[in-house]
A and B are shown apart, each in its own frame.
Chain A
Amino acid sequence: MKIKLKEMGNSLFFSLIGIAAILILWTLGVKFTSVGLLLPTPLEVLQRMAYTFSNAIGRELTLPMHLAVSLRRVVIGFSLASVCGVVLGIAMGRFRMVEAVCKPLFELVRPIPSVAWIPLAIVWFGIGETAKTFIIFMAGFVNIVVNTYAGAKQVDENMLGVAYMLGANEIQAFFHVVIPSCVPYIFAGMQVGLSTCWMAVLAAEMVSSTEGIGWTITAGQENGDMTQIFVGIIAIAVVGLLLAVLMRWAERVLCRWRVRGK
């Protein structure tokens, strides 16, 4: 336990050194070289970030409000993608017919990056919320389907037999055997799905939007406001990281049964 703490302390220490080194190099570069024409200093970015916490970027929304707009879009698109993805993935894994029809389709759709849907989404749905929801949905959906499908395929048929022997009917066996043994796979899909959804909302907002964290970056570009661009990028990184941590925490709670250690 002691050793573990020490190791953790060490790795934290080294990653802090890494971050500090970059910040120092960045500051020095900006202060003493021509890089200064292109970049704000980290301190300026931080000050602007603090400032935009209570002051609007653009017409009326502050930084947290822009983030909230983007997060709301992600939550809607990602939830839809999760529900549809899990249902379809399990149906593909459990019913030959569905598998035969859908599997080739997904092999085709899988390599398409979510930004490729942007033009189509705009043509189909215009530039409103529906188009954005669609783009985000597509970004998460494919990952979740593919992973859930893999999970549904690996369900141990013997365990279904065990459930029947103990008196379970088909529906009970489905909910007590099929679903739980898919959960780790569903989670793997949702983890990747959430981060691709988060990337997709930014892409969608950069193309057509009047608010949201993606928009703040495009707006910064249009005004030649380097600091605002950096504020946007860092906010994206931090929120993306928080989302990943949230998912990992949820997985730890829901997949506790897989953890061997103490």
Chain B
Amino acid sequence: MSETRKTVIECKHVSKTFYSMAGDNLVVSDLNFNVYENEFVVLFGPGQCGKSTILNLISGLESPTGGEIVVSGEKVSGPSPKRGMVYQTTNLFMWYTVMQNVEFGPKMQGVPKKIRRERAQKYIDLVGLNGFENQFPVKLSGGMQQRVGIARAYANEPELICMDEPFGHLDAQTRYLMEEEVERISNTARRTVVFVTNNAEEAIYLADRIILLHNCPTSVHKEYTVDLPRPRDYTSPEFLALREQITADMDNTL
């Protein structure tokens, strides 16, 4: 399928070392993978293996010390609104309402008020926050705050959205709910998504393709294409088998 689809991300021999007085820390080493248009790719690996670092490299917040990352034909050289990010902690603008948070990106880029309001409203409705437009984030629960973060990333209509363990801080119940939400959202508003998690279930539930990462220094250990029908059933034999396999493979990365 990759022949016919546009390549959105190309990671070519990417490495990243953090230099410090205490010693150099090689976190990413010879990382190679591609992500194709409208694909939902999950980067899966143990904690502290460098997943956030990879997303920071893709988003341009950090620059690689070796190799290069090309997004839609352009070499990444800094943050860009073309690449959206949903964070582990909510990182909302606490002083702005839900609406003001969601319309922030378009507003910064000078999209006229009427158009950006409509667009923001569309994504607020999509994440199920209709009626909360004028609330401040402090009054929302953790799950609702994450929805605002997702709507904010989508409302900028980037070509690529990175999500860094967005549900890591949520309780199990809310987490399942949010996974369903993301499934529904990405069906409705198709985007290229790179989703980071250390939860195998979450990875299998959401991914078109899972990239299993080595522990530090990080590179690609193994890939899985998941073509179970959606929405996926956590308890189906295929789901459980894949989960078992991935968990076993993950143990080999440590």
Contact = CB atoms under 8 A, between A and B. Distances in A.
A62 interface: no
A183 B95 CA distance: 10
B91 A256 contact: no
Interface residues of B, number: 25
Interface string B59-78: 10100000000000000000
A174 to B, nearest CB: 12
A243 interface: no
Interface of B: 59, 61, 79-81, 83-85, 87, 91, 93-97, 104-105, 108-109, 136-139, 152, 156
B93 A168 contact: no
Contacts of B136: 256-257, 259
Contacts of A161: 61, 79
Chain A's interface: helix, strand, loop or mixed, by majority? helix
Interface of A: 158-159, 161-169, 172, 176-177, 180-181, 183, 256-260
B87 A162 contact: yes
Nearest to B85: A165
Given A165-B61, A167-B156, A260 B138 contact: yes
Contacts of A159: 91, 93
Given A168-B108, A259-B138, 13 more contacts: A159-B93, A162-B85, A163-B108, A164-B79, A165-B81, A166-B84, A166-B105, A176-B104, A183-B95, A257-B94, A257-B97, A258-B138, A260-B139
A165 B152 contact: no
A223 B152 CA distance: 69
Nearest to B136: A257
B79 A257 contact: no
Contacts of A168: 104, 108
